[in-house]
Structure 1
Amino acid sequence: MCYFEQTRWACGYWRWGHFRQQCNKEYRMGETCGLKLVYETKTEKDVCKICHDTEKKQRRYDKMCRDIQRWQREGNRNATIERTCGEMQEALGQIYRMREEHDHRLQFLGQRHCVGASKKANPNPPRARWLHGDTWMSHLGFTVTEAVANVLLQSTGLAVSS
């Protein structure tokens, strides 16, 4: 249960940051135990890169749609309209995949704020109350109840303060 920074964007998307502190479970220098806990969450006011890219693709798709409407009014642009319709289908597929990736990350890796208390609140990491409510989340996205977390902590020799 090593400590890492976390970045969270306004859209809810998040990613792990730099390694900050090693836990007692891992004794080798530079190695981590595999379980990630939040050392500090950096909140970004802007949306993530995937959202920016999706918005860009959506603007491109909207422009192609307006162009097709204009070309249909003008007439004699059948080949251009057909080519642009194909490009629109491709752009729509890309938008769908990007939104799906974003939603999957939010759903699978925990949209809820259950990834741990900030280390600044309690500077003693092994005994810090890293549970938020009754759950915490591993780096694989598994949400674990307090009872299971206590069993994990007892097996590693760490304790949870209330």
Structure 2
Amino acid sequence: MCFYDQYQMYCGDYKWGHFRQHCSKEYRTGETCGMKLVMTTIPKRDKCKLCSKIDTKKGRIVKEQERINRWQHEQKRGHQRVASIEASQQQIAQLEWEIQELDYQRNEAMQSTR
């Protein structure tokens, strides 16, 4: 049970920081026992990497939806945008799948650390 800093992210996730102190169960000099305890929790204003990626992909989805709405409005005036709309819809589906994958990875990481 060695002691480490813990960085608490804005999104609620955390990551381990620097090693701070050995415990009494130290087996060999210079090695840690493998169990981590929190010495100090350091709050951070940033989100974790996975949450940042999810936010970026959600922003891209909003952008694609705005493009689709604009193209549908242009179609009413006689411009053909069917292929562009279909491509954007496929892009949105791909982004939603990637978000699901990132959510799964985030949930797995949360489960493994608790």
**How high is the TM-score relative to the length of structure 2?**
0.84
What secondary structure is seen at the aligned counterpart in 2 of 1:29?
coil
Q: More helix by proportion, 1 or 2?
A: 2
1:4 and 1:10 map into 2 onto residues whose CA distance is 19
Within 5 Å, give how 1:45-64 maps onto structure 2.
45-64=45-64
Aligned residue-pair number: 110
1:43 and 1:5 map into 2 onto residues whose CA distance is 11
| Gap regions ≥5 residues in structure 1 | 110-139, 142-162
1:46 and 1:86 map into 2 onto residues whose CA distance is 31
1:95 aligned partner, one-letter code: I
What secondary structure is seen at the aligned counterpart in 1 of 2:33?
coil
**How high is the TM-score relative to the length of structure 1?**
0.61
Post-superposition, which runs of at least 4 consecutive aligned residues in structure 1 deviate over 4 A?
A: none
Q: Which residue of 1 aligns with 2:39?
A: 39
Does the 8 Å CA contact 1:13/1:105 hold for their aligned counterparts? no
Q: Which residue of 2 aligns with 1:133?
A: none
1:62 and 1:46 map into 2 onto residues whose CA distance is 22
2:89 and 2:45 map into 1 onto residues whose CA distance is 36
1:29 and 1:85 map into 2 onto residues whose CA distance is 59
What secondary structure is seen at the aligned counterpart in 1 of 2:5?
strand
Q: Which residue of 1 aligns with 2:89?
A: 85
Q: Which residue of 1 aligns with 2:103?
A: 99
1:43 and 1:83 map into 2 onto residues whose CA distance is 41
Q: Which residue of 2 aligns with 1:151?
A: none
Within 5 Å, give how 1:1-162 maps onto structure 2.
1-75=1-75, 76-106=80-110, 108-109=111-112, 140-141=113-114
Does the 8 Å CA contact 1:7/1:16 hold for their aligned counterparts? yes
What secondary structure is seen at the aligned counterpart in 1 of 2:65?
helix
The Cα shift of 1:103 comes to 3.6
| Gap regions ≥5 residues in structure 2 | none
Q: Percent identity?
A: 38
